[in-house]
Structure 1
Amino acid sequence: MPSKTLPEQEIQQRVKTGFFNFSQIEKYFVHDERKGVFQAISDRTFQDLDLEDVFKFIDRTVSCVGQQYLYYFMRTIPQDDTRKQRLENIITLFQKNPDLKTALTPEISKLNKKDAYYITSLFHGKYTERPSWYWLIKILSVISVLSVMLSFFFPQILIFLIILLPVNLGIHYWNKNNLYQYGSSIPQLLVLTQTAQKILKNSGFSAQNIGLQQRVDALDQLGLPMSIFKIEAKLQGEIGQFVDYVVELFKALFLIEPVLLFTILKILDSKRQHIEDIFQFVAETDIALSIIALRESVPHTCEPIIGLKRKFLHIKQVYHPLIFNGVCNDITLDEKSVLLTGSNMSGKTTFIRTVGINALLGQTINTCFAKEFAMSAMKIHSSIRISDDLLGDKSYYFEEVLTLKNLLEESQCGHSNLFLLDELFKGTNSVERIAIGKSVLSYLTRGNDLAIASTHDRELSDYLADTFDLYHFTEVIDEETIMFDYKLKPGKLRTTNAIRILELNDYPKEVVAEAVKLVDGMKSG
């Protein structure tokens, strides 16, 4: 995609604002069985790469189902290209027919109510079981119907109905709690099937989804009986309330709600896959619209090339999606990993996150914030944001030890990995930190894995020169200011400016002087 310059205000206007309810958004991902998934991104990597904020930026969906499925997309790398090809086919369809995009967007947006988040419970959740005495409900329902019919010929039966009504009312209101559990999901399922019907009217969609129309029709036939779940819709005004009471009495007398509820639940339980297929179809359509909007709203993106060869990463003009007017960088790794050096705030950690985010999005939504992006198919693991676990009584160092142990085990699992590592073992002394860091990095990258690691220990680069390419970030200090260009530069960092930064920030002169003296002594020693 050609690069373009967009004003910050225009970009911000296209980003969603307001509250993101991640406890609902993540429901599909949390309960999915991970079929056909190469990797599910761990919570640690999700936090290390700030993927919650990245999701907020890339999410341009117009429905809750699309939002849930986009979150699932972003946290799962598929085993093959099927999902990617299907998504790109939909994107191409919209790009060739802008009027179709205009027509379908408002239809899909009908699923933007928060109740639509609960549709996933209809194929992931456990259904309410019929009570063991359900046979009694059916018998009482039949008796009530027969009694009303016979009362036209034998009016005295009305006395029996007056006795039967309190029993049926008790069952009717006992069932309200069961009905309430589906008061959000099933009405939205009706909207979902209606939306799918409208999308499938286009030949481009129906041709790509053979057999889906039959599944939609099967659920659409349940539309009328499922309308009982619209229990929240109330008639307005006094006359409306009176009619509502009469309808409620009618439903209670014939036990319409419990009979229909358990009948419909039995049918829906047998059609879980139907519901999930329709959910995915509508959600993917929304995701395609979202990705089109995303690609149009940023300076430049590209579709990555995945799987050329093992242990390979080529990036040109990559940038962090959350940094407006951020600096772009290039890097190519072929058989070798990369070790970054540089002072704090120079851009090391941001660059590591930038590569990780783009490697993930390239393999999930087929979109990279770069001019060129090619890589091996790799799982993504990180150790960036480590902290003490006070409740678990674990120090920073011990927490990092456990994290890296998991990565060492992952490196022996037979698949390619991309390890993102920021300042290894900074919770221990410098001699042991360098020794352990060298041994861990060598172990992690001896197979088909790549690592992008940062360090303040320039000595570490000497030990890893054979297996790691060396890059650095640096700052420029003039008489009174510190300037960062955030440009990745080849080779090892040769200068240090930490003490000079103290001086520029008005540290006491004796503190600065003593620090300089100690450094000179260490160098001469």
Structure 2
Amino acid sequence: MSSKTSSDKDHIAQIKKGFFNFGQIEKYFVNDKRDGVFQVISDRTFQDLDLEDVFKFIDRTVSCVGQQYLYYFMRVIPLGDARKERLENVISIFQADPALRAATTTEISKLNKTDAYYITSLFHGKYTPRPGWYWLIQLLSAVSVLAVIMAFFLPQILIFLIVLLPVNLGIHYWNKNNLYQYGSSIPQLLILTQTARSILKNPEFAAQNNALQAQVSMLDQLGLPMSIFKIEAKLQGEIGMFVDYVFELFKALFLVEPVLLFTILKILDSKRQHIEDVFRFVAETDIALSTLALRESVPYACQPDFHLELKHLQIRDVYHPLIFDGVANDLTLQTKSALLTGSNMSGKTTFIRTVGINALLGQTINTCFAHAFAMTAMKIHSSIRISDDLLGDKSYYFEEVLTIKNLLEESRSGYSNLFLLDELFKGTNSVERIAIGKSVLSYLTQGSNLALASTHDRELSNFLADTFDLYHFTEVIHQDAVIFDYKLKPGKLVTTNAIRILELNDYPSTVVQEALTLAAGNR
């Protein structure tokens, strides 16, 4: 992809404003079976890489269904290239036809109401079961219809209808709770089906989705009976209210709602896969629009280059998407992993997250915030943000022990893995920390695995020189100010400024002098 320029103002303007309801957004991801996928990103890595904030940035979808599926996209790396190829194919269609892009955006945006979040319940959730006495509902409905017909010939039947009406009213209003459960999802399913049908009218989409067209047609046949669920559309004004009351009485007398509800639910239960396929089609189309808008809004981006060469990572001008004025960096790893050194706030952890975020987005939305990003397909694991679990009575060290144990197990999975590690075992003493750190990092990088790790222990670099390339970040003290350039540099860190920074912050001279003396003696 060619790079493009964009001002910071334009960069920010595309970001969605307002509240992100992740309880609703993650519904599809939480309930999907996720069979046959390459990796599901763990909650640990999701938190370590600040992926909730990253999602807020990359989300340019115009519908709730697209937003839900984009979250799934970001949390699930698929097997193979099929999803990526579909995404790029749709993006290329919209790039070639701006008018179609605008029209499709308008069509899909009809699903931007929060009610659309509930469509997933129609293929993931359990349906309200028919009551054991449903036969009585059917019988009373049929009797009511028959009685009305007979009343034209035998007016005395009206007395029977007056007696029957309270019974039917009781059943009608008993069913309201059942009806309200689908008052959001089923009307939105109607809009979803209409949206899919509209998109499929375009020859570019129709030719590739013959099976989907048949599924849309089947769901279309349910459009008329499902329209009864648009209970939120009330008639306005006094005449409207009168008509509404009459219509409500009509539905109660003939038990229209419970009969239609349980009939429709039975049909929908048998069409779960149809509904999900249509959901995915519309959602993927929205994701293609979102990804295209994202690529156009950032300073530059690229599609990653995947290859079969193992233990290979080559990055040029990569940047963190949430740092608008951030410094871009390069990194090339060939058979060796990378060990980063440098002081606090120099950029080590941010760079580790930058690589992790781009490696993930490259394998999900096929987009990296870099001029070039070449990698082996890799699972992504992390240990960056560890904290005490006070409620679970776990110390920082024990929490990290359990986290690293999981990574050691993943390293033997037979897949290529990218391990992102920030200051291993800093909850223990330096002698044991260095010893454990060396053994763990050596173990993690066996086979086709790569690791990107940071440390304050410069001694660790001596033990890992055969398996890790050394890089560092440095700061410069200029006119009593600490200046960070956030530029990754090859080699071992040879200068330190920690004690000098204490001096600049007016620590007592005796403290500074003693620290300098002790540090000199330990070098």
User: Structure 1 length as normaliser, TM-score?
Assistant: 0.98
Q: Distance in 1 between matches of 2:238 and 2:511?
A: 82
1:405 aligns with 2:387: no
Pick which of 503-512 and 105-114 moved more. Answer: 503-512
Q: Distance in 2 between matches of 1:61 and 1:508?
A: 56
The amino acid across from 2:429 in the alignment is N
SS at match of 2:207: helix
Q: Distance in 2 between matches of 1:7 and 1:373?
A: 23
SS at match of 2:418: strand
Q: Tell me which residue corresponds to 2:508.
A: 508
Q: Tell me which residue corresponds to 1:206.
A: 206
Q: Tell me which residue corresponds to 1:431.
A: 431
CA contact (8 A) 2:7 2:299 kept: no
1:235 aligns with 2:235: yes
Q: How does 1:320-399 map to 2 (within 5 A)?
A: 320-399=320-399
CA distances 1:82-112 after superposition (whole Å, capped 9, x unpaired): 0000110000111111111011111110000
Q: Distance in 2 between matches of 1:95 and 1:3?
A: 15
Q: Tell me which residue corresponds to 2:492.
A: 492
Deviation at 1:155, TM superposition (A): 1.1
SS at match of 2:465: coil
SS at match of 1:208: coil
Q: Distance in 2 between matches of 1:183 and 1:508?
A: 70
CA distances 1:18-42 after superposition (whole Å, capped 9, x unpaired): 0000000011111111123100100
The amino acid across from 1:58 in the alignment is I
Q: Tell me which residue corresponds to 2:265.
A: 265
CA contact (8 A) 1:4 1:300 kept: yes
Deviation at 1:512, TM superposition (A): 1.5
Q: How does 1:33-432 map to 2 (within 5 A)?
A: 33-432=33-432
Deviation at 1:307, TM superposition (A): 3.1
Q: Distance in 2 between matches of 1:3 and 1:206?
A: 32
SS at match of 1:183: coil
The amino acid across from 1:180 in the alignment is Y
Q: Distance in 2 between matches of 1:5 and 1:258?
A: 58
Q: Distance in 1 between matches of 2:287 and 2:56?
A: 14
CA distances 1:173-223 after superposition (whole Å, capped 9, x unpaired): 110011000000000000000000110010000112121111001001111
CA contact (8 A) 1:70 1:287 kept: yes
CA distances 1:113-168 after superposition (whole Å, capped 9, x unpaired): 00000000101111111011100100000000001111111111111111111111
The amino acid across from 1:135 in the alignment is W
The amino acid across from 1:228 in the alignment is I
The amino acid across from 1:36 in the alignment is G
The amino acid across from 1:362 in the alignment is G
CA contact (8 A) 1:306 1:363 kept: no
CA distances 1:315-342 after superposition (whole Å, capped 9, x unpaired): 1111000111211111111111110000
CA contact (8 A) 1:308 1:374 kept: no
Deviation at 1:522, TM superposition (A): 3.0
1:462 aligns with 2:462: yes
The amino acid across from 2:476 in the alignment is V
Q: Tell me which residue corresponds to 2:444.
A: 444
CA contact (8 A) 2:40 2:75 kept: yes
CA distances 1:450-502 after superposition (whole Å, capped 9, x unpaired): 00000000000000000000000000112311111111101110011101111
Q: How does 1:23-38 map to 2 (within 5 A)?
A: 23-38=23-38
Q: Name the % identity.
A: 79
SS at match of 1:105: helix
Deviation at 1:4, TM superposition (A): 3.3
CA contact (8 A) 1:128 1:178 kept: yes
Deviation at 1:73, TM superposition (A): 0.5
CA contact (8 A) 2:3 2:302 kept: no
The amino acid across from 2:503 in the alignment is E
Q: Distance in 2 between matches of 1:193 and 1:118?
A: 14
CA contact (8 A) 1:434 1:460 kept: yes
CA distances 1:331-384 after superposition (whole Å, capped 9, x unpaired): 111111110000000000000000000000000000000111111111000000
CA contact (8 A) 1:419 1:450 kept: yes
Deviation at 1:510, TM superposition (A): 2.4
CA contact (8 A) 2:408 2:444 kept: yes
CA contact (8 A) 2:11 2:299 kept: no
Pick which of 430-439 and 147-156 moved more. Answer: 147-156
The amino acid across from 2:159 in the alignment is I
Q: How many residue pairs were aligned?
A: 523
Deviation at 1:311, TM superposition (A): 1.2
Q: Distance in 2 between matches of 1:67 and 1:381?
A: 24
Q: Distance in 1 between matches of 2:8 and 2:203?
A: 38
Deviation at 1:17, TM superposition (A): 0.6
The amino acid across from 1:159 in the alignment is I
Pick which of 304-313 and 356-365 moved more. Answer: 304-313
Deviation at 1:314, TM superposition (A): 0.8
Q: Distance in 2 between matches of 1:42 and 1:343?
A: 29
Q: Distance in 1 between matches of 2:72 and 2:125?
A: 17
Show structure 1 runs of 5+ residues with no match: none
The amino acid across from 2:104 in the alignment is L
Q: Distance in 2 between matches of 1:480 and 1:4?
A: 38
The amino acid across from 1:7 in the alignment is S
CA contact (8 A) 2:471 2:488 kept: yes
Q: Distance in 1 between matches of 2:132 and 2:277?
A: 32
User: Structure 2 length as normaliser, TM-score?
Assistant: 0.99
Q: Distance in 2 between matches of 1:409 and 1:489?
A: 32
The amino acid across from 1:197 in the alignment is R
SS at match of 1:211: helix
CA contact (8 A) 1:215 1:274 kept: yes
SS at match of 2:486: coil
Q: Distance in 1 between matches of 2:278 and 2:113?
A: 18
Q: Distance in 2 between matches of 1:16 and 1:413?
A: 38
SS at match of 2:479: coil
